[in-house]
């Protein structure tokens, strides 16, 4: 419906305009009847709808909805079209419940494996994270339902999330933490972006003009609105000025009063408020126009999609002697209480009341058929605690080893041909609101696996967890299948993979370190009382493990299949590129096994020589291809400037350097199969500015500099001084000389080099 928004704003009172900038209650904006402005509803998110049954806060349950795999799992699919389908289904469920905006996806970078909310987040890599978020957003928004890309930005921990100051250098912020949002904003224009609770370099996410206006709105061109994370507003008028349009939930009119006062006192120009209202109205009317009455969707179909998704996200980490897939005959001991009481989602605001719920045990029995004898032993206890944390259900499970249950499980395992153990992390180990203290699984789970492995040589471990765990037993088991928190159909998907009805194709979207101490943020997580310094800089995840040559337990991008893929014939369409050129890369991938399968072809770019510190390689492309046995396909990538650039804080821009870049294509970050080189010719050759602190080597590198400076060098150090004082290698004396600032020759050449001469030399050099 066409409306004249400017005219509507002109009819609004100051109070109405200020009022529109905060919520009516926990989940709605305010409507203004006399002007035909409706209230719209937004709710969680991200991987399922959590719409509370009433507006009360003290509620354990929400309206039943499909619980899809959590973000940590979804990202392991590396499949844009899958994320799009899940998003589309989520959008439909929102329409069914008359919800206009779904609060997600969550694109914070996994800086540490300890972050309690990693299960909701996508990846340690900004490119993968932003591509997955973009596809999710496109899916939801294809239904006329908005999204809220959250939590912008640098909310990488739960500890003191409302207070802490994330101190991040500009290059790291741009290349890692903002880039994860940037791609998604530019590609798919989420209707809303949710600001984070924390401070970013000294200023709250809710009143940070640099991130909200300068970058998000002006640089990236975000057209929608910024909504506060629930309760993230500090000073409301400062927030509005910085670019925060909507405060959620409302603050009982307190925030509105502050806006009114600021406008009346002249401290806040009314035009700033009008601009915010204009953005708000565009979204509110779009939301209202897209709402449907009596919209229905097929929840059985969504359950099937949830099962397919969980199957595509699962990562086969280890498969010695091809123990998987299991045959549908013989005796299988299914062990672990998670097999019957699944751990399939995380705690906190994303907690969904699932409309259906598979359990792995029943699905295994059904899938294995009548020729398989299946036994079960719990192995550990699942004490479900029905307490409620705030308005969010919270479940805790006992993690103490129970020797009797372990003994019983070992006996069952000993009588079987194979033991399949379901283990991982209970809810009490990871959730919104707190971070993990360590990377271990409960002692009871580890002991169970070890006890079973002592009596049974064929052990398969199926993990349910939201982020990496240490695996002290890894050498004692033949297979590990990482299901993450795979949603309501996770149990069925596990059965599909265990028996080979689905060929696994997930790849890790994060590194699994051997131990917590290997992680680059280890010494600076979660920081002190007031701040957390991101001292590892850009070296997050595999960028660090690669550079420091730390062997991970499982590397970024790793994931096995029941078939094999051969990579051959990499071709680049150009040997030399300018930074504005697009480079096309193509490779052939062939399924050389006897099972149909899907492979994630990963492309990394490596700058072979740089003036700045760069990661050894960075993910810049990926495609998932499906191949029948014997089939081969060409996979193509297009790389633009950003695939080669780093962010230069000095220039305030993305910069490419001249020289060779290597294009690496492979099956994981540590399994590179093909390589090729391309020469970059930067559009604007770097112009050096010479100062009194320029090094002798830089001056001697320029003919005009050499001509002027050589006599001064000789005056200072005698005729034997080398002409080669511009070399990076040489004697200790030459090296020392090469690295000396030119101003020091006022002292070395004592009178033979004066301030006037220095000025003259700099003028010559800066002109040259
Ligand atoms: C969370 C958000 C969530 C919001 C509404 C906050 O505590 O950080 O992710 O969308 O609550 O439930």
- Tell me the pLDDT tens digit for each residue of 89-135: 999 999 999 999 999 999 999 999 999 999 999 999 999 999 999 99
Indicate which residue of 229, 238, 358, 402 is catalytic. Answer: 229
Give the model's pLDDT for residue 389. Answer: 45
* Ligand 1 atom with the shortest distance to the CA of 155: 8
Residue nearest to atom 4 of ligand 1 (CA): 230
Domain assignment present for 292: no
Residue 319 Cβ < 6 Å to ligand 1: no
Measure 35 CA to ligand 1 centroid, in angstroms. 30
Instruction: Supply 530's token pair.
Output: 């007031």
- Asked whether residue 99 falls in the same domain as residue 218, the answer is yes
Give Rg (Cα) of the chain: 29
- Asked whether residue 588 falls in the same domain as residue 714, the answer is no
Residue 45 Cβ < 6 Å to ligand 1: yes
Residue 120 Cβ < 6 Å to ligand 1: no
Hey, CA dihedral for 262, 264, 266, 268, is it positive or negative?
positive
Domain assignment present for 540: no
* Ligand 1 atom with the shortest distance to the CA of 106: 9
- Asked whether residue 492 falls in the same domain as residue 608, the answer is no
- Asked whether residue 756 falls in the same domain as residue 662, the answer is no
Residue nearest to atom 9 of ligand 1 (CA): 349
Low-confidence ranges of the chain (pLDDT < 50): 58-59, 385-394
Domain assignment present for 1: no
Instruction: Supply 409's token pair.
Output: 């499980």
- Asked whether residue 592 falls in the same domain as residue 526, the answer is no
- Asked whether residue 130 falls in the same domain as residue 40, the answer is yes
CATH of the domain at 606: 2.60.40.10
Measure 169 CA to ligand 1 centroid, in angstroms. 27
Domain assignment present for 154: yes
Domain assignment present for 546: no
Domain assignment present for 157: yes
- Asked whether residue 85 falls in the same domain as residue 220, the answer is yes
CATH of the domain at 283: 3.20.20.300
Measure 229 CA to ligand 1 centroid, in angstroms. 6
CB neighbour list of residue 705: distance below 8 Å, 6 or more residues apart: 690, 698, 699, 761, 764, 765, 768
Hey, CA dihedral for 646, 648, 653, 657, is it positive or negative?
negative
Residue nearest to atom 3 of ligand 1 (CA): 349
Task: Give the model confidence (pLDDT) of 348-386 as tens digits.
Answer: 999 999 999 999 999 999 999 999 999 999 999 985 544
Give the model's pLDDT for residue 58. Answer: 46
Measure 259 CA to ligand 1 centroid, in angstroms. 24
- Asked whether residue 663 falls in the same domain as residue 709, the answer is no
230, 431, 432: residue to mutate for ligand 1 pocket, most atoms within 8 A of CB:
230
Residue 230 Cβ < 6 Å to ligand 1: yes
- Asked whether residue 107 falls in the same domain as residue 210, the answer is yes
Distance CA 39, CA 29 (A): 5
Measure 188 CA to ligand 1 centroid, in angstroms. 22
Q: Which residue(s) pair with 464 in the sheet?
A: 424
Measure 230 CA to ligand 1 centroid, in angstroms. 6
In this prediction the pTM is 0.94
**Omega before 148 within 30 of 0, i.e. cis:** no
Q: Cβ-count burial of 720 within 10 angstroms (0-12 exposed, 13-18 middle, 19+ buried)?
A: exposed
44, 62, 158: residue to mutate for ligand 1 pocket, most atoms within 8 A of CB:
44
Q: Which domain holds residue 640?
A: 565-681
Instruction: Supply 646's token pair.
Output: 């780093």
- Asked whether residue 276 falls in the same domain as residue 373, the answer is no
Residue 349 Cβ < 6 Å to ligand 1: yes
- Asked whether residue 675 falls in the same domain as residue 703, the answer is no
Give the model's pLDDT for residue 385. Answer: 45
In the residue annotation, 229 being an active-site residue is answered as yes
Domain assignment present for 283: yes
Indicate the residue among 514, 534, 554 that finishes a domain.
Answer: 534
Indicate the residue among 222, 257, 287 that finishes a domain.
Answer: 287
Give the model's pLDDT for residue 714. Answer: 84
Residue 504 Cβ < 6 Å to ligand 1: no
- Asked whether residue 237 falls in the same domain as residue 317, the answer is no
Distance CA 336, CA 426 (A): 12
Domain assignment present for 295: no
**What is the domain count for the chain?**
4
Measure 206 CA to ligand 1 centroid, in angstroms. 14
Q: Which residue(s) pair with 146 in the sheet?
A: 101
Give the model's pLDDT for residue 388. Answer: 39
């Amino acid at each position: 419906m066409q409306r004249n928004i400017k005219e509507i704003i002109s009819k609004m009172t100051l109070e109405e305009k200020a009022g529109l900038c905060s919520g009516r209650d926990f989940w709605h904006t305010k409507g203004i009847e006399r002007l035909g402005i409706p209230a719209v509803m937004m709710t969680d998110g991200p991987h399922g709808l959590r719409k509370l049954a009433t507006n009360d806060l003290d509620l354990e349950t929400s309206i039943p909805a499909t619980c899809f795999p959590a973000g940590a799992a979804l990202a392991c699919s590396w499949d844009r079209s899958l994320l799009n389908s899940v998003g589309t289904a989520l959008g439909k469920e929102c329409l069914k419940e008359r919800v206009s905006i779904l609060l997600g996806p969550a694109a914070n970078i996994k800086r540490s494996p300890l972050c309690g909310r990693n299960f909701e987040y996508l990846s340690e890599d900004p490119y993968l994270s932003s591509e997955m978020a973009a596809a999710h957003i496109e899916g939801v928004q294809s239904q006329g339902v908005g999204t809220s890309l959250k939590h912008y930005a640098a909310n990488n921990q739960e500890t003191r999330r409302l207070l802490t100051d994330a101190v991040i250098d500009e290059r790291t912020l741009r290349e890692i933490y903002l880039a994860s949002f940037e791609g998604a904003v530019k590609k798919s224009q989420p209707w809303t972006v949710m600001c984070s609770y924390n401070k970013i370099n000294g200023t709250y996410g809710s009143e940070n003009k640099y991130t909200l206006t300068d970058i998000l709105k002006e640089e990236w061109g975000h057209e929608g609105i910024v909504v506060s994370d629930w309760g993230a507003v500090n000073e409301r008028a400062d927030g509005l000025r910085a670019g925060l349009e909507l405060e959620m939930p409302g603050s009982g009119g307190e925030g509105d009063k502050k806006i009114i006062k600021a406008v009346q006192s002249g401290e806040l120009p009314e035009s700033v408020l009008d601009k915010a209202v204009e953005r708000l109205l565009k979204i509110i009317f779009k939301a209202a126009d897209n709402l449907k009455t009596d919209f229905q969707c097929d929840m059985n179909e969504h359950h099937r999609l949830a099962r397919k998704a969980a199957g595509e996200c699962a990562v086969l980490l280890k498969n010695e002697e091809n123990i998987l897939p299991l045959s549908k005959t013989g005796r299988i001991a299914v062990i672990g209480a998670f097999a019957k009481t699944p751990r399939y989602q995380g705690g906190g605001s994303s907690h969904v009341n699932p409309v259906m719920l598979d359990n792995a045990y029943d699905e295994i029995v059904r899938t294995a058929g009548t020729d398989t004898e299946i036994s079960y032993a719990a192995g550990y206890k699942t004490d479900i605690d029905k307490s409620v944390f705030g308005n969010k259900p919270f479940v805790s499970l006992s993690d103490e080893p129970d020797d009797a249950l372990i003994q019983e499980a070992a006996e069952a395992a000993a009588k079987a041909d194979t033991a399949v153990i379901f283990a991982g992390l209970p809810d009490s180990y990871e959730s919104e609101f707190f971070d993990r203290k360590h990377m271990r699984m409960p002692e009871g789970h580890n002991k169970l696996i070890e006890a079973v492995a002592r009596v049974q040589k064929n052990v398969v471990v199926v993990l349910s967890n939201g982020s990496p765990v240490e695996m002290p037993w890894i050498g004692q088991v033949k297979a590990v299948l990482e299901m993450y928190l795979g949603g309501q159909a996770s149990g069925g998907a596990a059965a599909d993979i265990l028996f080979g009805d689905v060929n696994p194709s997930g790849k890790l979207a994060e590194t699994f370190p051997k131990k917590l101490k290997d992680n680059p943020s280890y010494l600076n997580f979660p920081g002190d009382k007031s701040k957390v310094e991101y001292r590892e800089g850009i070296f997050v995840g595999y960028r660090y493990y690669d550079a420091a040559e730390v062997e991970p337990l499982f590397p970024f991008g790793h994931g096995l299949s029941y078939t094999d893929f051969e990579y051959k014939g990499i071709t680049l369409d150009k040997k030399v590129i300018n930074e504005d050129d697009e480079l096309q890369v193509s490779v052939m991938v062939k399924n050389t096994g006897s099972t149909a399968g899907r492979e994630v072809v990963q492309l990394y770019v490596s700058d072979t020589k740089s003036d700045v510190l760069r990661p050894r390689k960075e993910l810049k492309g990926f495609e998932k291809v499906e191949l029948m046995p014997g089939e081969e396909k060409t996979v193509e990538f297009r790389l633009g400037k950003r695939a080669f650039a780093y962010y230069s804080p000095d220039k305030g821009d993305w910069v490419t350097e001249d020289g060779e870049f290597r294009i690496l294509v492979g099956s994981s970050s540590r399994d590179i199969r093909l390589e090729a080189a391309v020469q970059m010719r930067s559009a604007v050759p770097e112009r050096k500015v010479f100062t009194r602190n320029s090094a002798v080597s830089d001056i001697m590198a320029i003919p005009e500099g050499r001509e002027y400076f050589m006599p001064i060098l000789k005056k200072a150090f005698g005729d034997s001084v080398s002409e080669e004082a511009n070399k990076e290698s040489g004697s200790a004396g030459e090296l020392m000389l090469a690295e000396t600032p030119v101003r020091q020759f006022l002292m070395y050449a004592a009178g033979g080099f004066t301030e006037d001469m220095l000025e003259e030399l700099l003028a010559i050099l800066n002109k040259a």
